[in-house]
Amino acid sequence: MEIQFQSDIGKRRNMNQDYANVFTNQSGMYLAILADGMGGHLAGDVASKMAVDGLGAAWSTSSLSQPDKAAEWFVQEIQQVNEAIYREGTTHLEMQGMGTTIVGAALLNETFVLAHVGDSRAYLIHEGQLRQLTEDHSLVNELLKTGEITAEMAAVHPQKNVLTRSVGIAGTIKTDISEHECQSNDYLLLCSDGLTNMVSEEVILAIVTSDQSLEDKTKQLINVANEAGGADNITVLLIHFEGEARP
């Protein structure tokens, strides 16, 4: 298994509010986490870093290796992170209302457990096919599901960035959890909407399944998003399930 990730400010933003990292626990299992922060001033990047680092610290001291335990862990620890971000936002006036998306994968031998809140996505690339594993927690996706708008309308909707769920709220956070099998030569892509709003799934698939190194694929996904306009921060975390672990 090889893991590469890269984050870029894009072409139109003053700061990068995305954050990603990879962590190992006491059983040698990897946790890949990506977050896309929101909020004025420095609040968005504070929220995303708190989410990733908070989950990473908790994972590093755990020894989880079973999917059911990892699922329980995600629910518990994302709630902890949610409360910490909410407290930070209420304590510091300039950070009031800050929040973040989260998409994370606990990589457990032949399976992985996904957790997500918000509109950052996970895709599985298997035998030349790309499949979205997460469902956007967004206003536009709700309108799409109820048939009020078409996919074409969704792509250019003025409220495209309005989330129905994010981390950093008062009370209990609802986290989507799913378990998936992975096979040799599969790819798992975690990304912020700075990629998916700029680059089609067809282009993403072509890059991921090309003959380049994993690092070059990651860089090309970022470059293509910037060439398309780079309207937002762009973060790509790409995992190739092949060979020995090599983050």
Distance CA 177, CA 183 (A): 20
Mind listing the pLDDT tens digit for each residue in 144-184? 888 888 887 887 787 777 899 999 999 999 999 999 999 99
- How many C-beta atoms lie closer than 10 Å to residue 125's C-beta? 19
Mind listing the pLDDT tens digit for each residue in 50-76? 999 999 999 999 999 999 999 999 999
| Residue 247: pLDDT over 70 | no
Q: Are 238 and 3 in contact (CB under 8 A)?
A: yes
Distances (CA, A) of 43 to 48, 226, 232: 9, 24, 16
Q: What is the mean pLDDT of residues 108-121?
A: 95
Tell me the backbone φ, ψ of residue 60, rounded to 5 degrees: -60, -30
Domains in the chain: ranges and CATH: 2-236 (3.60.40.10)
Mind listing the pLDDT tens digit for each residue in 185-226? 999 999 999 999 999 999 999 999 999 999 999 999 999 999
| Residue 40: pLDDT over 70 | no
Q: What is the mean pLDDT of residues 84-101?
A: 92
pTM comes to: 0.94
